[in-house]
Amino acid sequence: MAVRKDWEVRLNDDGDFLRFRVVVEGPELVDFLVQFEVTVDGTRVPVVRYDGSHPQCHYDRYTRDGNKAEQCWLDGGLSAKDCQKLGEQDLKKNWQRYRERYFEEPL
């Protein structure tokens, strides 16, 4: 039986968050989401998302109009757990840079 756990970490007083989701079956991570979100006009929107909900883990970056600016498939040899760790490390280290780029892009 799969067990899902969701949580978030507030990054600042401007409404920036890291959102996490993991789904495990027994000892195995079978799905995940690591997402950096900003708050725009009271609504939280994704900026960068790592997820494993497809056959291969990937990274998505979004524009201010809500479209995908970039999608990158991660190394197919990585496990979901490795991809989740990679995404978490990247977003914890680089969320401020992703935030700046997001707000600098034209609408």
Tokens (6 digits) for 70? 């970039």
CA dihedral 65, 45, 47, 40 (to 10 degrees): 70
d(CA 65, CA 67): 6
Q: Tell me the pLDDT tens digit for each residue of 26-78.
A: 999 999 999 999 999 999 999 999 999 777 899 999 999 999 999 999 888 88
Whether 107 shows a pLDDT value over 90: the answer reads no
Q: Residue 30 in contact with residue 2, Cβ under 8 Å?
A: yes
Distance from CA of residue 56 to its chain's centroid? 15
Locate all alpha helices (DSSP H) within the chain, ordered by sequence: 80-104
Give residue 24's pLDDT. Answer: 96
In this prediction, residue 23 carries a pLDDT of 96
User: Mind listing the pLDDT tens digit for each residue in 82-92?
Assistant: 999 999 999 99
Q: Token pair for residue 94?
A: 């680089």
pLDDT at position 55 is 76
pLDDT at 12: 97
Strand (E) or helix (H) holding 74 = none
For residue 77, the model assigns a pLDDT of 85
pTM above 0.85, yes or no: yes
Other beta carbons within 10 Å of 87? 26
The pLDDT of residue 27 = 92
